[in-house]
Each structure stands twice: as C-alpha cells, then as structure tokens.
Structure 1
Amino acid sequence: MTSDPWGRVDEQGTVYVRTADGERVVGSWQAGSPKEALAYFERKYEGLAVEIGLLERRVQTTDLSPKDALAAIEHLRATVDQAHAVGDLAALAKRLDALVSVVEERREERKALKARATDEARRAKEELVAEAEQLAASDQWRVAGERLRALVDTWKGLPRLDRKSDDELWHRFSHARSAFSKRRKAHFASLDAQREEARRRKAKLVTEAEALSGSTDWGPTAARYRELMSEWKAAGRAQREAEDELWNRFRSAQDVFFQARSETFAERDAEQRENLTRKEELVVEAEKILPVTDLRAARAAFRSVNERWEQIGHVPRDARPRIEARLHAVERAIHEAEEAEWRRTNPEARARAEGLTGQLQAAVDRLRSQVEQARAAGNDARAAKLETELMGRQALLEQAQKGLQEFSG
C-alpha cells in the first residue's frame, strides 16, 4: 500500500482521499504504480486549486457581478465536494468560504456605490428639472432652446432611478420643455403675422415710392419721401427675403427721384450763381446813385436798375438776404429823400409848422413875463414853478423852429 498525508492507494488499486469526515474513494488505478496513481489524482487537485485562484483574481480585479461570482463559487464548491482528487480539499473549501465573504463585501460596496450613484443621479435630475422649469419662462428663444436640448442630452447620460421617481421627474422635465415650445411657437407665429403685416404695408409704400420717382414737384415730393421713410421704419420688419426685395425697390425709387432732383438743382445752382454775379453788378450801379442830389434823376436810375433786377431771376438762397439788403438800402435812401422833399414843399405842413412855432413863441414870452412879475412881487415859489414850465415850452419851441427850417432848406 502506498500513501501520502492526503491520500492512499490500497493493494487493489483503489485510491482514497483523507477528509475531516474520514476517507473517501476518489478512483482506482490499474495501469501503473501506486505512486503514479497518487500523482495523477494530486494533479487533479492542483487543477482545482488553479480554478479557485483564477476565480479569486476575477473577483478582486474585474467587475464580475456578485450573482455570477457566487454561482461560480457554488459550482466550484460542488466540484470540490465531489472531486476525484487527492489533496487538502478542506483548504480549498475554506478558500471558497473566504471568497464568499469577499463577494459579499463587494456586493455591499456595489450596493453603497449604487445608492450613492442613485442619489447623485436624483440630485442631478432634480437640478435639470429646476433649470428646465426656469427656462420654460424665458424669452431668449435661441439660447434657451439650445440649453434645453443640452439638458436632454445630459438627462440621457444619467442612470435611471426607481420607476416612480424617474417618471415623476421626467414628467416635470418634459412639461417644462413642452411649455417652452408652445410659448416659442406662439411667439414666432405672432412674429410671422407681424412680419406679414409689415410686408403688406411696405409693399404699399413701395408702390407709392415708385409712382413718385418721376415727379418734378421737387419740394412736396421730397417731403413725401421723408414721410414714406418714417412710415417704413414704423412698419417693422418683414420676412428677410421680402424685406430685402422691397427695400431694394424702395431705395431704387428714391434714388431715381433724388438723382433727377440733384441734376436739376445743379443746373439751377449754376444759373443762380450767374444771376448773383449780374445782380451784384446792378447793386454796384445802384449804390452809385447815393447820395441823392437830383431826386428825379435818382428815381429814373433806380427804376432802370430795378427793372433789370426783376428780369434776372433767383440767386442762391444764402446770398439773397445780403444782396437784396444792399438794393433796399439804396431804395430807402431815395424814399427818405422823397419824404424830405415833400415835407419841404408842402404849404399846409409849412403853415402848420409856422402856426405852432408862433403859438409856442407867444407862450414862452408870456411865461417869461410872469416869472419877472412873480419875482418882483417876492413870490419865489411861484417864480420857480413858472420857470420850470418856461423851460419845457422853450424846448418845444426849439424843436418847432428846427422843423420850420426844413421848409426853407
């Protein structure tokens, strides 16, 4: 009989393994020596040890699930219990027991990790929902829409919660997105209606602008174009393509009118500059009339200048006050000379002036006599009062005398 610490082979070739519960037959060996028999069944034991070692490494170093790990352990345990091998089978069983403890620890760790991940996912989804509900009231359509799409992508990347919680949060999240989409749709529908109304209004403005483009009624038409531009700005924007097309037509109509006006005004400005030169020559001729020494000749000369002046036409607006003021100065001088001549030759006015002068002279003489009488009587107060009245009448007399002298000029 051949044996070792964990097994033996009897004379009939039966191979036994020693366990805590006693010996157990694991096989028979007839082909060779008992030593070879033990070596064969010891190699089977080593194979089991290798399988257990591999499972230990998988449990420690991979993401093997606890369920799969325990199934593998139980499979190996059954294999060890029924193993046709010679070796310390109890030690293998202890290793499997220890591995069960490791798996359970890993299970608890995974549960804790899963719980933390769930809590983090819940908080993350609650934050996404809160932000989505805030964005639902936003009028920043493009920015808010892009952010909501990003939130959806973030949501998809988060782990699911329990069905009830996940459904409730998703319902709120989805409702916020729907509310935003409805508001945005309503906004752009209203905007489209406004743009269509703007298009209609601007089309009418373009029609009128094109009708006015050939007008030569420069002032009123230019004013109307300014009004049309104000109405254009007040109408709001149409759809982009319509806006561009209408604006090009509107601007082209204006350009046609204002180009024609500019050409006309350029011709008119050249003519008015020529008129200014001619009127400046006439003003110089008119100013030579002054001072007026011969009223009849002055009138004739000014009449000739004025007739030629009227035939010339307009001058530039900014030069008009200056050139006309010079001509009017000559005209006023002639008019003043006429008035002076009339006053000098008017017999009625001369008679009135002589009568007034005589009356004032008599009043002055009378007051002077009364002053002398009051002083002679010692009435100084009356004398002073009469002297004051005398001074006033004397001043009026001097003015009347000067006026009378004009009639003898």
Structure 2
Amino acid sequence: MTASEFGRVDDDGTVYVKTADGERPVGQMPDASPEEAMAFYTRRYDALALEVDLLHKRVNSGVLSPDEAANAVRIVRAQLVDAHAVGDLAGLSARLDELGPVIATQREARRAEKARKSVEAKEQKEKLAAEAEAIAQGRDWKNGANRLRELLDQWKQLPRIEKAADDALWKRFSSARSAYTKARKAHFAEQDEKRDAARVVKERLVKEAESLVGSTEWGPTAGAYRDLMRQWKAAGPAPKGVDDELWKRFRGAQDTFFGARDEANAALDAEFAANAVVKEQLIVEAEALLPALKDGSGDLDAIKRSFRDIADRWDEAGKVPRDRIKDLEGRMRVVEQAIRKVEDEQWRRTDPEKSARADDMVVKLETAIAEAQAKLEKARAAGDAKRIKELEENLEGRRSFLEMAKRASADYR
C-alpha cells in the first residue's frame, strides 16, 4: 500500500482520492508503479489548480463581467465534483467560494457605474440643450448651423435616461434647433433685400468708373478709382448673376484706364532707353575688370578705384526703363560682389594670427625632423636595422607634413 496526504494507490493499481466524505476511486493503472500512478493523477490535480488560480486572477482583475465570472466559476466547480485527480480538491472548492463575494461586489459596482453614467448622460443632455438654446438666441448663421449638427451627433451617442426626463430634454433641444432654423431663414430673406440695394449702388459705381476711362490725369484718376473700389467693397454683394456682370464692367473700366496709363509710362521708358545704352556700356567696362580680379594678375586697389569711377558714372547716367532695372543692376552687383569676395579672401590670407600659427608649425616640424635625423644616424652606427626602418618611415611622414606646412605658411605671405 502506497499513500499520501490526499490519496493512495491500491495493490491492483486503483488510485483513490481522500475527500471530506471519504475515499473515492479516480482511476486505475495496473501496469504502472504506485509512484507513477500517483504522479499521473496529481498532475491532473495540478492542472485543475492552475485553472482555479487563473480564474481567480481573471475575476479579481475585473476582465470578466460578473455574469461571465459566475458562469466560469460554475463550470470549474462542476469539474471538481467528480475530478479524476488526487490533491486538495476541497481547498480548490474553497478558493472558488472566495470568488462569490468578489463577484457580488463587482456586480454592485457595475450597477453603481450604470447609475453614474445615467446621471452623467442627463447632465450632458442638459448642457447640449442649454448650448442649443444659446445658439438659437444668437445670429451666427454659418457656425451656428454647423455646431447644432455637431450637438445632434453628440446627443445620438449618449444613452437614453429615464423616459420622462429624456423626453423633456429632447423637447428643449429640438425646439431650439427649430427656432434657430426659422430665424436663419428670415435672415437670408433679409440678405436678399440687401443684395437688391447693393445692386443699385454698384450700378451707380459702374457708371462713374466708365466716365473716368478717358482721363489722362493719371495720379488723381488712379486715386478716384481706388475710392470707387472702397465703395464697391462697402456696398456688399449684389445678387450672384448681376454681381458678376456689374463687376465685369467695373473691372473693364479700370483695366482700360490703367492700360492707357501703362502705355504713357512705356513712352517714358522709351525716353530712358538711351540711359540704358550708357549703363550697358558701363557694365561692359566693369565686367572687363573681372578676369584680372579672378586670376590675381591685377592690383586690387587699382581695380577698386576703377570700379568706383564706373559707379559714379552709372549714377550720373540717370533712370532706365523699368523692365531693364533688375537685369542691369544685377550685372553690376555681380562685379561688386566679386571685388568684395577678393577683398575678404585677401584679408583671410594676411590674417596675422593664422600666419603666426603656420610659421610655428613649420619651426616645430623642422626641429622634430632634426631630432629624428640624429636618432637615425645613431641607429645606423649601431647597425639596428629595425630601428633604422622605423626612423626612416617617421622622417618620411614628417617631411611630407613639413612641405604642407611650408605651403600653408607661404599662403599668408
């Protein structure tokens, strides 16, 4: 006979589990040793214990609804009644009993949460109704309509509350929407009347604009057109089709006048054409300074004096046609910037601080090379082939650096 605290194995391989009501057989394994038989059925118990433990955690975590939790407990408890397993089945049943109060508490919490949400829904609907009533009292015809649609969408997403309260709040909300829609329609009817009045004003402005078309008093007439434009904007919109036609006539009168003014200005530009010829010649003269400037063959101070003389003559040449200003001034600016760039580069090359650093590097490298040369002579005298090779490679590298340092130093001379 082999026994344990919660079960035993009979000589014929029958396995028993001990319960509060006595022993009951859970299975038979005649071809296995008592230890193997007991181990098989205790593993079954372990599986049940794991299932109870997992259920404990899920119920306590709240991931299951109270109804789902109660149903899961019933299923697992039924598995324990005639479980073919050896272990503390009574203990597992007790652990399931512990879940009863937990589920009851969760159920009560759910009821309280539902009641709270109902209160919140009522408060939200009261706010929506109040906001709808405020919009109905206002005159924001565009944003108000959009906002009322948003409020209606929010209303539909809220749960229903107690019927009498829900019906009363809906009546407030719906009445506000209806009042707003009625007032909005009245507003746009009034706008139609204003558009008719605007049509009368714009017809007068069109006639005035057309009467100024032939004027050659460019400044005062341009000012008059600006004044007519201000009045046009202040008049507001006329009926759509009429407004477009009146604007076409008004704009046409403006275009005719300003077109004539542009032609007059073009005539002035023609007078300035000779000045443009002079400035083109001066640009050619200025651009001729660039090659000597770029290859360094010219005297920078002399080039600067020549450019200043050209610039003085440029100013004396006078105005040029407006469509030539950007091109001519841009070419002169290129020459001016090139001179400034060379000035900046010359300054950088003659920078005393950088020159001193370059000279110092040359001195240090020459000293290091002399020391390495002395060491090389000693190594040769000693016949140290390895040392000779190291020093020769070292000298080759330092001499290369010295050449670069000398070139850098020369750049600052």
Structure 1 contact 198–237 (Cα < 8 Å) conserved: no
CA distance, structure 1, for counterparts of residue 25 and residue 160 of structure 2? 54
Aligned ranges 1:352-363 → 2 under 5 Å: none
Structure 1 partner of 2:91:
91
CA distance, structure 2, for counterparts of residue 236 and residue 60 of structure 1? 69
Flag the 1:148–1:234 CA change in 2: closer, same or farther, 3 A.
Answer: closer
CA distance, structure 1, for counterparts of residue 131 and residue 98 of structure 2? 49
Structure 1 contact 205–232 (Cα < 8 Å) conserved: no
Structure 2 partner of 1:297:
none
Determine helix, strand or coil for the equivalent of 2:68. helix
Determine helix, strand or coil for the equivalent of 2:87. coil
CA distance, structure 2, for counterparts of residue 33 and residue 43 of structure 1? 15
Structure 1 partner of 2:12:
12
Shift of 1:45: 1.0
Q: Which segments of 5 or more consecutive residues in structure 2 lack a partner in the other structure? A: 216-227, 258-413
Structure 1 contact 199–242 (Cα < 8 Å) conserved: no
Structure 1 partner of 2:405:
none
Shift of 1:151: 2.9
Aligned ranges 1:62-101 → 2 under 5 Å: 62-101=62-101
Letter in 2 for 1:117: K
Structure 1 contact 29–37 (Cα < 8 Å) conserved: yes
CA distance, structure 2, for counterparts of residue 58 and residue 249 of structure 1? 80
Shift of 1:63: 2.5
Letter in 1 for 2:200: R
Flag the 1:68–1:251 CA change in 2: closer, same or farther, 3 A.
Answer: closer
Determine helix, strand or coil for the equivalent of 1:17. strand
Shift of 1:39: 1.6
Structure 2 partner of 1:122:
122
Determine helix, strand or coil for the equivalent of 2:85. coil
Structure 2 partner of 1:26:
26
RMSD: 4.0
Structure 2 partner of 1:198:
197
Aligned ranges 1:10-409 → 2 under 5 Å: 10-155=10-155, 158-161=158-161, 165-166=165-166, 168-195=168-195, 197-198=196-197, 200-202=199-201, 205=204, 209=208, 237-239=237-239, 242-243=242-243, 246=246, 249-250=249-250
CA distance, structure 1, for counterparts of residue 10 and residue 253 of structure 2? 123
Structure 2 contact 206–246 (Cα < 8 Å) conserved: no
Shift of 1:79: 0.6
CA distance, structure 2, for counterparts of residue 76 and residue 255 of structure 1? 91
CA distance, structure 1, for counterparts of residue 213 and residue 57 of structure 2? 96
Flag the 1:70–1:189 CA change in 2: closer, same or farther, 3 A.
Answer: same
CA distance, structure 1, for counterparts of residue 123 and residue 32 of structure 2? 71
TM-score, structure 2 as length reference? 0.50
User: How many matched pairs?
Assistant: 249
Structure 2 contact 210–250 (Cα < 8 Å) conserved: no
CA distance, structure 1, for counterparts of residue 160 and residue 70 of structure 2? 26
Flag the 1:211–1:93 CA change in 2: closer, same or farther, 3 A.
Answer: closer
Shift of 1:13: 2.5
TM-score, structure 1 as length reference? 0.51
Shift of 1:250: 5.0
CA distance, structure 2, for counterparts of residue 40 and residue 162 of structure 1? 59
Structure 2 contact 199–242 (Cα < 8 Å) conserved: no
Structure 1 partner of 2:372:
none
Letter in 2 for 1:32: A
CA distance, structure 2, for counterparts of residue 72 and residue 194 of structure 1? 73
Letter in 2 for 1:58: R
Structure 1 contact 206–249 (Cα < 8 Å) conserved: no
CA distance, structure 2, for counterparts of residue 96 and residue 234 of structure 1? 82
Determine helix, strand or coil for the equivalent of 2:16. strand
Letter in 1 for 2:138: S
TM-superposition CA deviations, 1:267-297 (whole Å, max 9, x none): xxxxxxxxxxxxxxxxxxxxxxxxxxxxxxx
Shift of 1:148: 2.7
Letter in 1 for 2:97: D
TM-superposition CA deviations, 1:218-238 (whole Å, max 9, x none): xxxxxxxxxx99x98997642
Structure 1 contact 201–235 (Cα < 8 Å) conserved: no
Shift of 1:134: 2.0
Shift of 1:160: 4.5
Structure 1 partner of 2:218:
none
CA distance, structure 1, for counterparts of residue 63 and residue 166 of structure 2? 26
Determine helix, strand or coil for the equivalent of 2:137. coil
Letter in 2 for 1:198: A
Report the structure number with the largest CA radius of gyration.
Answer: 1
Structure 2 contact 9–15 (Cα < 8 Å) conserved: yes
Determine helix, strand or coil for the equivalent of 1:24. strand
Structure 1 contact 6–87 (Cα < 8 Å) conserved: yes
TM-superposition CA deviations, 1:341-363 (whole Å, max 9, x none): xxxxxxxxxxxxxxxxxxxxxxx
Structure 2 partner of 1:363:
none
Flag the 1:179–1:82 CA change in 2: closer, same or farther, 3 A.
Answer: farther
Shift of 1:187: 1.7
